[in-house]
Chains A and B, each alone.
Chain A
Amino acid sequence: MSSSSLSVQGLAKRYGDFVALAPTDLVVADGEFLTLLGPSGSGKTTLLSLLAGLVPPDEGSVRIGSQDVTYAPPYERDIGVVFQNYALFPHMTIEENIAFPLKMRKVGAAEAKRRALEALEMVHLPHIAGRYPRELSGGQQQRVALARCMVYKPSIILMDEPLGALDKKLREHMQLEIKRLHRELGTTVVYVTHDQEEAMTMSDRICLMNAGRIEQLGTPADLYFRPRSLFVADFLGESNILPAALGSRSGDEVEIGLGTQGVSGRALANGNDLPPGTEVRVMVRPQNLTVARKGGSTPDGLQGRVSEVMVTGSLTKVYMEPLDGKLPPLVAAFPTRNDDDAVRIDDVLTLSWSGRDAVVIADSARAAGTA
């Protein structure tokens, strides 16, 4: 195993009776960019703190490379942490703050100064070197925290919402900087964010957390198109979730029956191996639904009455009530066109999808909202 891979086994943390992190296994490969995503209070910061050695675990172990570091103090781990609340030292100037890790590593004063200013350059704040943290805005403090972590090029960086306080433009710039650093130095990054788009674009893999446990771990496409649970389907982006009964299987696809009016379709089995007749859910993303006017090529497809049409710039979203009252409301999205034949409220449309774009979710557990 390479020196900057991270792995945890059965790692758990409780505060009194409250389980902040249930026993968890996780392996982060050397040079990987892994994002922790999940609702507030789901244990992201807890997991990060355990990795960094900021709090002791109740159970389990942490390894960096082949070393067991479960109870090693933070300063022996060569891990950089960008704290959720920045944690800048109030009695040091920005330059001193950034030079601090270099000083701890016995880098000479002149060299430390040069590298600190370079790091400030990178976060676009060269003019504030002599100021104190309280004299900066929230976003500036956040960038200083980032610079302080990057300046000593640790082989593993843990970041807790490092861009949360930045505006969109600055955020995109910093995303690029982080990605560049990650690429050039081969740093292993564990990253926490609340921004799904950020998670999708930056990560090699996403670890979706919920109530102190890992809900699903996989590539962005895995989570988005092949969620293993309703929670995941619901948490990431918009989705249509329909109750369905399994039919016969062919290859990795399976026949499904929807509602009471004999409508059928196909979906990916998604690794589920359940007997025909099992009640499951099927998820289709709005952009994968195709709509056609009634009487089109798929006369016996799922039909719905349009209840709302929203044009959101590049996309048009159409909300529909299925004619079969047993099915929940649906939403379809397609590129906005300059079209005379536009969809209007109360139109009745027929919906269809490719079997590769729908997936079976066997899990009967709660959805994100009710977790």
Chain B
Amino acid sequence: MTMTHAQGAKRHSPPPAWRKPVLMGAPLVLLLVAFLVFPVGQLLALSVYNGQGFTLAPYAQLFASSLYITVLWITLKISLATTVVAVVAAYPVAYLISIAKGPAKSRLIFWVLLSFWTSFLVRAFAWVVILGRNGVVNSTLMSLGIIDTPADLLYGFGAVLVGMVHAMLPLAVMTMLAVMENIDRTLPRAAGTLGARPGTAFWTVYFPLSLPGVAASAIMVFVSAIGFFIVPALLGGRKETMITQLIIDQVQQTLNWGLAGAISVLLLTVVLVVFLLYDRVFGFASLTGESAVVRNRDTAMRRLGGRVLAALGSVSDALIGLVPRRHPLRGRSERPVALTAFVWLLLVLISLPAFLMIPLSFGKGGLAWPPSGFTLQWYQQLLDSPIWMQALWRSIVVAFGTGLLSMAIGVPAAFLMVRSQMRGKGAMLAFILSPIVVPRMIIAVGMFYVFAQMGLVGTILGLVIGHTVVAVPYVVMTMMAVLRNYDTRLDLAAQSLGARPVAALRHVTFPILGAGMLSSFLFAFATSFDELTISLFSSGGLSATLPKQFWDEVTLQVSPVIAAVSTGLLLFVATLIYVADRLRRRSLAG
């Protein structure tokens, strides 16, 4: 019956309402203004300002020859093809994951994540080994006697498409999955009780509901593909040059900043047009996994679409009907065997290339297939090389710094986005996510220009800032998803039971959000650890990160040490995912 008056004695006054949102949102906004808006703005300005005054010379140069337009056209063609193939292939994978349960689901996700987080460089380089003159495909075909002389598989459209699809497939699956997981699974079943056969139920109920996911995944893949340069540079020939490579050339070789700026304007315009179209049709909300209502205003199109879907449904039902079923009820299992088999085949295919590096790293014969003998010499060389070791150390430090900084400014912003009702929230979210939209190459070049003036090139701080700019949107997105599922009344309950805010955070909020926060951190960590574009410029000549070192090696002198590095990276990523998953499960159980 006694009440402590000690603390109650001080007179409380209402805190000003504006203070919290500003404190939570300002650091992220400031970071993006200083290191995204300003650098990109600078770069774009360079295309019309040459030090003395206004000029349109770079644009004259841009349109003087057909080169740039041709390259832009090639870029769009490759990106579009990549998008179509990746999205179509990703759909069954994401669908299977969304309906799988328990260990089966974890296993599927593990393999997708493994590909997702295995360095782009390792995966692209694996294709060089597979498709090369002495590569896996050629030597297998020759030993089988199918061909006599090695075929030219590398350096063509096919190789680029394979590499690009391989690079983008995990991203496509993960984006689609975010939407599919939110589809109420009782709906197709409800359709079943209303008389729809399984095929019809899928095509007329589930598929339309999953379309926002398909759209989100398509645009993510398309925009990433446009700004991607690793695959075309390693696997493509002259005819597969993409526009980002032209920017690199201008900056690294001819030092023509004006032209680099003009090309960036061109690229950015294309991306913006694509996004505006996307917003017209689907709305941006579907990108953050919020179930968006498809705003399909064109009713004629809708009716046509409806008819096509209904027809597809009847066709699939007819096909399903051809297969005899002994147990009609059990035959209606939610996980068709054929689908499972197909998905696993796909997962094996996308995982395999990186795994080929393991036997090569222990072989005496270098990077030629098949591997011969057993040696640890490549690992020995790797460990003895100060360049590699310093690069590894630098990458780890930068990735940790990026993870911490992204969390420190991204988590409060995510809280703000989910919990406050402030005006302009949509605009702010769009701004926070903009580093994903702006092609990475443009950010990297602009940042390089600004860093050079600030003396940040080649510094750890510069790299951490640069990587945080591109990693923080992912932190905000994953944390928003986590927070949306969190019942804020639990915090209030803890406080009403006597927990001060810090104790409530420690005992209630963080334990429940812990797994989500850890995966956000790992996301930022992995993004930085695999970041090449920004590091390519801003790490400076002598202080390379691991991906930069990897890139320098594969573009200058290919050595089997690369296979050893790749194996190490693969193991590292696999361990990381495994540990994260264990932690997540422990926090769910405990």
Binding site for B on A (CB under 8 A): 3-4, 52-54, 56, 64-65, 67-81, 83, 85, 87, 89-91, 100-101, 103-105, 148-149, 152, 155, 185-186
CB-CB nearest in chain B for A72: B12
With beta carbons under 8 angstroms apart, the residue of B496, B498, B500 that contacts A54 is: B496
B507 contacts which chain A residues (CB < 8 A)? 100, 103
12 pairs from A and B in contact (CB 8 Å cutoff): A4-B3, A71-B13, A73-B495, A81-B496, A83-B493, A87-B489, A87-B493, A89-B493, A104-B499, A104-B503, A148-B497, A149-B497
- Is the beta-carbon distance between A67 and B8 smaller than 8 angstroms? yes
A85 contacts which chain B residues (CB < 8 A)? 487, 489
> Is B404 interfacial (CB-CB < 8 Å)?
no
A186 contacts which chain B residues (CB < 8 A)? 1
CB-CB nearest in chain A for B590: A91
**Main secondary structure on chain B at its contact with chain A?**
loop
Which of B3, B494, B503, B508 has most A Cβ within 10 Å?
A: B3
> Is B587 interfacial (CB-CB < 8 Å)?
yes
| Alpha-carbon distance between A292 and B545 when the two chains are bound, in angstroms | 101
A104 contacts which chain B residues (CB < 8 A)? 497-499, 503
> Is B11 interfacial (CB-CB < 8 Å)?
yes
| Alpha-carbon distance between A79 and B340 when the two chains are bound, in angstroms | 55
| Alpha-carbon distance between A91 and B584 when the two chains are bound, in angstroms | 12
With beta carbons under 8 angstroms apart, the residue of A3, A68, A73 that contacts B3 is: A3
- Is the beta-carbon distance between B487 and A87 smaller than 8 angstroms? yes
* Cβ of A38 to closest chain B Cβ, rounded Å: 21
With beta carbons under 8 angstroms apart, the residue of B3, B12, B487 that contacts A78 is: B3
CB-CB nearest in chain B for A31: B1
> Is B277 interfacial (CB-CB < 8 Å)?
no
- Is the beta-carbon distance between B1 and A155 smaller than 8 angstroms? yes
* Cβ of A14 to closest chain B Cβ, rounded Å: 12
- Is the beta-carbon distance between B3 and A65 smaller than 8 angstroms? yes
B9 contacts which chain A residues (CB < 8 A)? 67
> Is B5 interfacial (CB-CB < 8 Å)?
yes
| Alpha-carbon distance between A79 and B499 when the two chains are bound, in angstroms | 12
- Is the beta-carbon distance between B498 and A105 smaller than 8 angstroms? yes
CB-CB nearest in chain A for B512: A91
A70 contacts which chain B residues (CB < 8 A)? 12, 14
- Is the beta-carbon distance between A80 and B496 smaller than 8 angstroms? yes
| Alpha-carbon distance between A80 and B7 when the two chains are bound, in angstroms | 17
- Is the beta-carbon distance between A64 and B512 smaller than 8 angstroms? no
- Is the beta-carbon distance between B497 and A185 smaller than 8 angstroms? no
* Cβ of A58 to closest chain B Cβ, rounded Å: 9
- Is the beta-carbon distance between B8 and A72 smaller than 8 angstroms? yes
> Is B2 interfacial (CB-CB < 8 Å)?
yes
B33 contacts which chain A residues (CB < 8 A)? none
Q: In the complex where A76-B7, A87-B489 touch, is A71 in contact with B496 (Cβ < 8 A)?
A: no
- Is the beta-carbon distance between B1 and A71 smaller than 8 angstroms? no
Q: 0/1 per residue, B480-511, Cβ < 8 Å to A?
A: 00000001011011111111110100011001
| Alpha-carbon distance between A54 and B8 when the two chains are bound, in angstroms | 16
B254 contacts which chain A residues (CB < 8 A)? none
Excluding A80-B496, A87-B487, A104-B497, 5 further A-B contacts by CB distance (< 8 Å) are: A54-B492, A70-B12, A89-B490, A90-B512, A148-B497
Q: 0/1 per residue, B496-540, Cβ < 8 Å to A?
A: 111111010001100110000000000000000000000000000
- Is the beta-carbon distance between A87 and B490 smaller than 8 angstroms? yes
With beta carbons under 8 angstroms apart, the residue of B5, B11, B13, B496 that contacts A79 is: B496
Q: 0/1 per residue, B457-495, Cβ < 8 Å to A?
A: 000000000000000000000000000000101101111
- Is the beta-carbon distance between B493 and A75 smaller than 8 angstroms? no
| Alpha-carbon distance between A185 and B511 when the two chains are bound, in angstroms | 34
Q: In the complex where A76-B7, A104-B503 touch, is A83 in contact with B489 (Cβ < 8 A)?
A: yes
Is the interface on chain B under 10, 10 to 19, 20 to 34, or 35 or more residues? 20 to 34
Q: In the complex where A73-B501, A89-B490, A91-B587 touch, is A4 in contact with B496 (Cβ < 8 A)?
A: no
CB-CB nearest in chain B for A57: B14
> Is B4 interfacial (CB-CB < 8 Å)?
yes
A69 contacts which chain B residues (CB < 8 A)? 8, 12
* Cβ of B503 to closest chain A Cβ, rounded Å: 6
| Alpha-carbon distance between A195 and B498 when the two chains are bound, in angstroms | 30
A185 contacts which chain B residues (CB < 8 A)? 1
| Alpha-carbon distance between A155 and B590 when the two chains are bound, in angstroms | 33
* Cβ of B380 to closest chain A Cβ, rounded Å: 47
A78 contacts which chain B residues (CB < 8 A)? 3-4, 498
Which of B5, B9, B494, B496 has most A Cβ within 10 Å?
A: B496
* Cβ of A269 to closest chain B Cβ, rounded Å: 42
B4 contacts which chain A residues (CB < 8 A)? 78
* Cβ of A78 to closest chain B Cβ, rounded Å: 5
A152 contacts which chain B residues (CB < 8 A)? 497-498
* Cβ of A22 to closest chain B Cβ, rounded Å: 19
A54 contacts which chain B residues (CB < 8 A)? 492, 495-496
| Alpha-carbon distance between A124 and B150 when the two chains are bound, in angstroms | 79
* Cβ of A97 to closest chain B Cβ, rounded Å: 9
Which of B14, B495, B507, B511 has most A Cβ within 10 Å?
A: B495
Q: 0/1 per residue, B1-33, Cβ < 8 Å to A?
A: 111110111011111000000000000000000
* Cβ of B44 to closest chain A Cβ, rounded Å: 40
| Alpha-carbon distance between A347 and B501 when the two chains are bound, in angstroms | 70
- Is the beta-carbon distance between A75 and B495 smaller than 8 angstroms? yes
| Alpha-carbon distance between A90 and B590 when the two chains are bound, in angstroms | 9
- Is the beta-carbon distance between B8 and A74 smaller than 8 angstroms? no
With beta carbons under 8 angstroms apart, the residue of A64, A76, A100 that contacts B497 is: A100
Which of A75, A79, A83 has most B Cβ within 10 Å?
A: A75
A81 contacts which chain B residues (CB < 8 A)? 493, 496-497
Which of B7, B497, B511 has most A Cβ within 10 Å?
A: B497
With beta carbons under 8 angstroms apart, the residue of B8, B487, B493 that contacts A64 is: B8
* Cβ of A271 to closest chain B Cβ, rounded Å: 36
Which of B11, B15, B492 has most A Cβ within 10 Å?
A: B492
CB-CB nearest in chain B for A65: B3
CB-CB nearest in chain B for A100: B497
With beta carbons under 8 angstroms apart, the residue of B3, B11, B489, B503 that contacts A155 is: B3
Q: 0/1 per residue, B287-298, Cβ < 8 Å to A?
A: 000000000000
CB-CB nearest in chain A for B493: A87
B501 contacts which chain A residues (CB < 8 A)? 73
Which residues of B391-409 have CB atoms within 8 Å of chain A's CB atoms? none
| Alpha-carbon distance between A3 and B495 when the two chains are bound, in angstroms | 21
A65 contacts which chain B residues (CB < 8 A)? 3
- Is the beta-carbon distance between B12 and A89 smaller than 8 angstroms? no
B511 contacts which chain A residues (CB < 8 A)? 91
| Alpha-carbon distance between A104 and B5 when the two chains are bound, in angstroms | 17
* Cβ of A145 to closest chain B Cβ, rounded Å: 9
* Cβ of A100 to closest chain B Cβ, rounded Å: 6
A4 contacts which chain B residues (CB < 8 A)? 1, 3
Which residues of B555-571 have CB atoms within 8 Å of chain A's CB atoms? none
| Alpha-carbon distance between A85 and B492 when the two chains are bound, in angstroms | 12
| Alpha-carbon distance between A91 and B490 when the two chains are bound, in angstroms | 11
B14 contacts which chain A residues (CB < 8 A)? 56, 70-71
- Is the beta-carbon distance between A75 and B12 smaller than 8 angstroms? no
Q: In the complex where A85-B489, A87-B489 touch, is A100 in contact with B494 (Cβ < 8 A)?
A: yes
* Cβ of B430 to closest chain A Cβ, rounded Å: 23
Q: In the complex where A69-B12, A91-B590, A152-B498 touch, is A74 in contact with B3 (Cβ < 8 A)?
A: no
| Alpha-carbon distance between A11 and B590 when the two chains are bound, in angstroms | 41
- Is the beta-carbon distance between B1 and A75 smaller than 8 angstroms? no
B8 contacts which chain A residues (CB < 8 A)? 64, 67, 69, 72, 76-77
| Alpha-carbon distance between A65 and B9 when the two chains are bound, in angstroms | 12
| Alpha-carbon distance between A285 and B370 when the two chains are bound, in angstroms | 97
- Is the beta-carbon distance between B496 and A89 smaller than 8 angstroms? no
A76 contacts which chain B residues (CB < 8 A)? 7-8
- Is the beta-carbon distance between B496 and A74 smaller than 8 angstroms? yes
| Alpha-carbon distance between A294 and B3 when the two chains are bound, in angstroms | 65
* Cβ of B511 to closest chain A Cβ, rounded Å: 5
A149 contacts which chain B residues (CB < 8 A)? 497
A56 contacts which chain B residues (CB < 8 A)? 14
Please list the 8 inter-chain residue pairs (A to B) with the smallest Cβ-Cβ separation, ordered nearest first: A71-B12, A87-B493, A104-B498, A101-B497, A74-B495, A81-B496, A74-B496, A54-B492
